[in-house]
Amino acid sequence: MRLTRLAIDAQHPNRVALMYGPVVMVLNDTPTLVLDADITKTFRMSGSSLEFELRGQPSKGLVPFYRMGYQKPYVMYFDQQID
Protein backbone atom coordinates (compact mmCIF):
# COMPACT_ATOMS: atom_id res chain seq x y z
CA MET A 1 0.00 0.00 0.00
CA ARG A 2 1.02 3.60 -0.42
CA LEU A 3 -0.19 7.05 0.50
CA THR A 4 -2.51 8.41 -2.21
CA ARG A 5 -4.86 11.33 -2.82
CA LEU A 6 -8.55 11.02 -3.64
CA ALA A 7 -10.59 14.00 -4.87
CA ILE A 8 -13.66 14.60 -2.71
CA ASP A 9 -15.89 15.02 -5.80
CA ALA A 10 -15.83 16.02 -9.49
CA GLN A 11 -16.68 19.66 -8.74
CA HIS A 12 -13.64 20.04 -6.44
CA PRO A 13 -10.82 18.01 -8.03
CA ASN A 14 -8.10 19.89 -6.13
CA ARG A 15 -9.57 19.27 -2.67
CA VAL A 16 -8.46 15.81 -1.64
CA ALA A 17 -8.47 13.29 1.17
CA LEU A 18 -5.34 11.26 1.87
CA MET A 19 -5.74 7.51 1.83
CA TYR A 20 -3.43 4.66 2.81
CA GLY A 21 -5.06 1.73 1.09
CA PRO A 22 -8.71 1.83 2.25
CA VAL A 23 -7.94 3.91 5.37
CA VAL A 24 -8.72 7.66 5.47
CA MET A 25 -5.81 9.54 7.04
CA VAL A 26 -6.18 12.80 8.98
CA LEU A 27 -3.69 15.42 10.07
CA ASN A 28 -3.75 15.66 13.84
CA ASP A 29 -3.84 18.97 15.68
CA THR A 30 -2.36 21.22 13.03
CA PRO A 31 -3.58 23.97 10.70
CA THR A 32 -4.59 23.32 7.12
CA LEU A 33 -1.79 22.31 4.82
CA VAL A 34 -1.38 22.78 1.07
CA LEU A 35 -0.03 19.61 -0.53
CA ASP A 36 2.93 19.56 -2.88
CA ALA A 37 2.46 17.71 -6.19
CA ASP A 38 4.60 14.88 -4.79
CA ILE A 39 3.16 13.98 -1.38
CA THR A 40 6.30 12.00 -0.52
CA LYS A 41 8.00 15.41 -0.16
CA THR A 42 5.43 16.38 2.48
CA PHE A 43 5.13 13.16 4.52
CA ARG A 44 7.29 10.19 5.41
CA MET A 45 6.27 6.98 7.13
CA SER A 46 7.16 6.95 10.81
CA GLY A 47 8.22 3.93 12.80
CA SER A 48 4.65 3.29 13.94
CA SER A 49 2.25 1.41 11.70
CA LEU A 50 -0.17 3.55 9.70
CA GLU A 51 1.42 6.82 10.81
CA PHE A 52 3.20 9.42 8.70
CA GLU A 53 5.31 12.32 9.93
CA LEU A 54 5.07 15.79 8.48
CA ARG A 55 8.61 16.42 7.22
CA GLY A 56 10.35 18.93 9.45
CA GLN A 57 7.76 18.53 12.24
CA PRO A 58 7.98 14.97 13.62
CA SER A 59 5.53 15.72 16.45
CA LYS A 60 2.69 16.25 13.95
CA GLY A 61 1.51 13.94 11.24
CA LEU A 62 -1.07 11.73 9.64
CA VAL A 63 -2.94 9.09 11.59
CA PRO A 64 -5.92 6.91 10.65
CA PHE A 65 -9.25 8.68 11.15
CA TYR A 66 -10.54 5.83 13.31
CA ARG A 67 -7.76 6.54 15.86
CA MET A 68 -8.87 10.12 16.52
CA GLY A 69 -10.35 10.53 19.95
CA TYR A 70 -13.49 12.39 20.93
CA GLN A 71 -13.26 16.18 20.48
CA LYS A 72 -9.66 16.15 19.19
CA PRO A 73 -8.87 18.59 16.36
CA TYR A 74 -7.96 17.16 12.97
CA VAL A 75 -7.95 18.05 9.28
CA MET A 76 -9.37 15.55 6.77
CA TYR A 77 -9.40 17.48 3.47
CA PHE A 78 -6.47 19.23 1.84
CA ASP A 79 -6.01 21.61 -1.09
CA GLN A 80 -3.35 20.53 -3.54
CA GLN A 81 -1.26 22.98 -5.52
CA ILE A 82 -2.18 23.41 -9.15
CA ASP A 83 0.84 23.29 -11.46
pTM: 0.71
Contact of 28 with 43, CB cutoff 8 Å? no
Amino acid at 57: Q
For the chain, domain boundaries: 3-80
Q: 3-40 as b/e, with b when 16 or more CB fall inside 10 Å?
A: beeeeeeeeeeeebbbebeeeebbbbeeeeeebeeebe
pLDDT, residue 58, reads 54
pLDDT, residue 82, reads 64
Residue 10's pLDDT band (cuts 50, 70, 90): very high
| pLDDT tens figures, 18-66 | 899 999 999 876 555 666 667 777 777 777 677 777 766 655 678 889 8
pLDDT, residue 75, reads 84
